Amino acid sequence: MSNIITIDGPSGAGKSTIARITAMRLGLAYLDTGAMYRAVTLHCMRAGVKLDDPKAVSATLKGLDLRVELTFDGPMKVFLGSEEVTGKIRTQEVTRNIHYVADVMEVRNHLVEMQRKIGENGDLVTEGRDQGTLVFPRASLKIYMFATPEVRARRRHNELKQRGVDASYEEVLEDVSKRDYLDMGRELGGLRKALDAVELDTSSLSPDEVAESIVKLAKARLKMQTRKIDKSALERARDQIERRSQES
């Protein structure tokens, strides 16, 4: 029997890092749903459409040839047509414009359908805001990960300081709170906790500690086994995700 583990939660809760580590520990593929929205954003930018025009954005879906390849030890590979764009979707320009695309209902419907088709093969860990509620409501194990707004704002503020960005903690906290409000208010794909999800507060835990909690749940509930992995592979995964968070 195949297994799907969903990890949902607000921004800054550490979902990407933890999902990647969990997938590696359990020998599952990792589905990076955010990369799919980034790819559609890049596609729209290349098409030269007005990104603040939902109709123009949805019209580009007719010419979208998006494909992803899930891996067990590395980042998910993303393709537009025959071109691999795994690195190209991580630019700051894509990051600045992704919210226009992610809020278009036709885009979300299209990607949700893609994600469900990918999930038909099972055996994956996926993270986002609607994976356990909308995309995979029958997932084997659902996790709802959260941290207080103050903790998430502190993490983000520290990241910005390391990158030399001048922003006060108060400004970052306001931005985090505003993003939570928008995420929870989305009609489609809004942030929700599935009724059968296990809640994990990451406020005082490291990514490894949270991942270990999820692995233990998977072993207990799904009778899954962990696999031995090279510690250097875990370090590479953490480094890759850290670089991505800094690019964002």
C-alpha 205/C-alpha 201 separation (Å) is 8
Do the Cβ atoms of 232 and 75 come closer than 8 Å? no
Condensed to tens digits (0 to 9), the pLDDT of residues 53-102 reads 999 999 999 999 999 999 877 778 999 999 999 989 988 788 788 889 98
Model pTM? 0.82
Q: What is the pLDDT of residue 248?
A: 45
Q: Would you state the torsion angle of the CA atoms of residues 153, 155, 158, 160, taken in this order, to the nearest 10 degrees? A: -70
Question: Which of 48-62, 119-133, 159-173 is least confident?
Answer: 159-173
* Domain extent listing, the chain: 1-28+123-241, 32-122
Q: What is the pLDDT of residue 6?
A: 96
CATH number of 32-122: 3.40.50.300
C-alpha 196/C-alpha 177 separation (Å) is 25
Model confidence at 240, pLDDT cuts 50, 70, 90, reads low
Q: What average pLDDT does this structure show over 38-45?
A: 96
Would the CATH topology of 1-28+123-241 be identical to that of 32-122?
yes
Q: What is the pLDDT of residue 117?
A: 95
CATH 3.30.9.10 fits 1-28+123-241, yes or no: no
Q: What is the DSSP string of 121-155?
A: T--EEEEESSIIIII-TT-SEEEEEE--HHHHHHH
241-248 long-range CB contacts below 8 Å, 24 or more apart?
A: 241/16, 241/17, 241/20, 242/17, 244/16, 244/90, 245/16, 245/159, 246/159, 246/162, 246/163, 247/90, 247/91, 247/92, 247/95, 248/95
**Residue 243 CB neighbours (<10 A):** 11
Q: What is the pLDDT of residue 227?
A: 59
**CA 19 centroid distance within chain:** 8
Q: What average pLDDT does this structure show over 16-28?
A: 89
Q: How many CA atoms lie within 13 A of 154 on its CB side?
A: 7
C-alpha 201/C-alpha 47 separation (Å) is 41
Q: What is the pLDDT of residue 84?
A: 97
Tokens representing 218? Answer: 């998977």
